[in-house]
Chains A and B, each alone.
Chain A
Amino acid sequence: NAGVMQNPRHLVRRRGQEARLRCSPMKGHSHVYWYRQLPEEGLKFMVYLQKENIIDESGMPKERFSAEFPKEGPSILRIQQVVRGDSAAYFCASSPGTGGNQPQHFGDGTRLSIL
């Protein structure tokens, strides 16, 4: 049973380019969460999605960042016009539901580097 799959594992972009990060949840999971992790900092919640719906995007920067979870295919976190400060590890997690006894399971992340 495959876990949460994220790709690419590493992504290098120049300032001003676009970054697209993909996440396929675990089989049977319809809830997806995106986090950002900076060195020496903890996990910062960005957005929570269910199929085709953004439920909570309170942690997303207002500009340049967007997320989707289409009916078919992986969830995508999109960062437009990247800047140096976007360099971080981005993690996706999924869960089968939102109960406290349905914990989130994480992928191995995408390390984004901005030149």
Chain B
Amino acid sequence: GEDVEQSLFLSVREGDSSVINCTYTDSSSTYLYWYKQEPGAGLQLLTYIFSNMDMKQDQRLTVLLNKKDKHLSLRIADTQTGDSAIYFCAENGRAGNNRKLIWGLGTSLAVNP
């Protein structure tokens, strides 16, 4: 079946890099997404990657995709306290569209001063 797994917690020091990992099961997924949720707020789209790409960079964010291992990661460079949030990984599954995304449970990132 379709499944997305993430580790639940990550703690880093301010200024270090954070790497949040995600594994998925559906090799037919064409798009994978990263969202950020701050306390009391909705999910903010951070970035997404097409499955024929290995890497995508956007300012402090780097997404790496290993399609063979079905592994996705989000690297945040120079992590700041404002990056403390829950990060969700999602894939669009075999449907190939964005209608019914499959979500991980989220990784709670704590940034320590």
Contact = CB atoms under 8 A, between A and B. Distances in A.
Interface string B57-84: 0000000000000000000000000000
A69 interface: no
Interface in A18-63: 33, 41-43, 45, 48, 55-56
Interface string A75-102: 0000000000000000101010011111
Contact of B50 (A45, A93, A100, A102): A100
Nearest to A108: B42
Size category, A interface: 20 to 34
Q: Tell me the dominant secondary structure on chain B's binding face.
A: loop
Interface in B9-65: 30-31, 33, 35, 40-45, 48, 50
A100 B96 contact: yes
A66 interface: no
Given A42-B88, A91-B42, A109-B42, A103 B98 contact: yes
Contacts of A45: 100-101
A105 B45 contact: yes
Size category, B interface: 20 to 34
B22 to A, nearest CB: 12
Interface of A: 4, 6, 33, 41-43, 45, 48, 55-56, 91, 93, 95, 98-109
15 contacts: A42-B104, A42-B105, A43-B103, A48-B99, A95-B98, A98-B97, A98-B99, A100-B50, A100-B97, A101-B48, A103-B33, A105-B45, A106-B45, A108-B40, A109-B41
Interface of B: 30-31, 33, 35, 40-45, 48, 50, 88, 92, 96-101, 103-106
